[in-house]
Amino acid sequence: MEKKLRSIKDKRYEEKHKAERKAKNATWGTSVPREKAEQINAFLERYGYTKVQLIEAGYKALLDDAAEHNLSLGKIMDGYDDFFEFESEKNKFE
């Protein structure tokens, strides 16, 4: 009986805060082949990482890779502010 009451309260709470959660977070509905997903999950569990950490590290790695091929992006990521006139983002559209 108490479990049922708790689940009702939980459901009401979730419904009440649904819009707030959606505004604060993004959920990507994506699929990974089962075998690859199991390998990733095993790795995360073995080394104590979360899926969020995986995504953040992957994003950083891709940014670093992109910066190697894009001088302006590389300078931004490294904190340089000595752009040549032709490299300035604001001047690209003028």
Write the pLDDT tens digit of every residue in 61-90: 888 887 777 767 766 666 666 555 665 555
Q: What's the structural domain count of the chain?
A: 1
Give the pLDDT confidence score for residue 94 in this predicted structure.
Answer: 39
d(CA 90, CA 86) in angstroms, rounded, equals 10
List the structure tokens of 42: 């095993």
Residue 71's domain spans which residues? 2-92
List the structure tokens of 36: 């690859």
Give the pLDDT confidence score for residue 30 in this predicted structure.
Answer: 86
Q: Tokens 């190697």 map to which residue?
A: 68
Write the pLDDT tens digit of every residue in 31-48: 999 999 999 999 999 999
Do residues 50 and 44 make contact, with C-beta atoms less than 8 angstroms apart?
yes
